[in-house]
């Protein structure tokens, strides 16, 4: 399933696009347990591909990425002041790092 003629494997991602791709680190109890095993979880742009995410993480944090798993999280239906609404869908990426590499998400870039 390809989207247009985007080939992020061959083209390098610009620094501005790297900051667009990686929105924020996801810090929960589950992701904290994953960080003990060399995994870091990020909230990423909905249109971001795995090769773009890999280049962004390697470019911004100066680490080597072993694997990336992505999940599209569906927005929840909510009621606010009697009005029905729905939160936006979002995408998260679980990034597995090569042995010996580490990202401390509690510090800034």
pLDDT one-digit tens code per residue, 61-78: 999 999 999 999 999 999
Tell me if 108 is assigned to some domain: no
In a domain, residue 106? The reply is no
Kindly state the percentage of the chain with pLDDT values over 90.
76
pTM, full prediction: 0.82
Taken in order 100, 103, 14, 1, the sign of the CA dihedral is positive
Whether the Cβ atoms of residue 34 and residue 41 lie closer than 8 Å to each other = yes
- pLDDT at 5 (0 to 100): 53
Domain that holds residue 81: 15-97
To which residue do tokens 């944090």 refer?
61
In a domain, 49, yes or no: yes
Say whether 25 sits in a helix, a strand or coil.
strand
Q: What are the structure tokens assigned to 22, written together?
A: 């990686």
**CATH label of the domain that carries residue 22:** 3.30.70.330
Q: Please tell me the predicted confidence (pLDDT) of residue 105.
A: 78
Q: Output the six-digit token pair for 64.
A: 């080597």
Whole-angstrom Cα distance, residue 5 to residue 3?
6
pLDDT at position 9:
55
Q: Which two tokens stand for residue 28?
A: 């929960």
In a domain? residue 102: no
Per-residue model confidence as pLDDT tens digits over 5-44:
555 455 788 999 999 999 999 999 999 899 889 999 999 9
In a domain, 8, yes or no: no
In a domain, 58, yes or no: yes
């Amino acid at each position: 399933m390809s989207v247009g003629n985007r080939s992020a494997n061959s083209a390098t991602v610009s620094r501005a696009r790297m900051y667009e791709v990686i929105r924020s680190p996801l810090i929960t109890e589950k992701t904290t347990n994953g960080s003990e095993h060399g995994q870091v979880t990020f909230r990423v742009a909905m249109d971001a591909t795995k090769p773009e995410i890999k280049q962004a993480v390697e470019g911004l944090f100066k680490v080597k990425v072993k694997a990336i798993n992505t999940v599209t999280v569906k927005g929840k239906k909510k009621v606010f002041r009697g009005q029905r609404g729905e939160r936006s869908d979002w995408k998260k990426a679980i990034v597995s790092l090569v042995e010996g590499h580490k990202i401390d998400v509690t510090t800034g870039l």
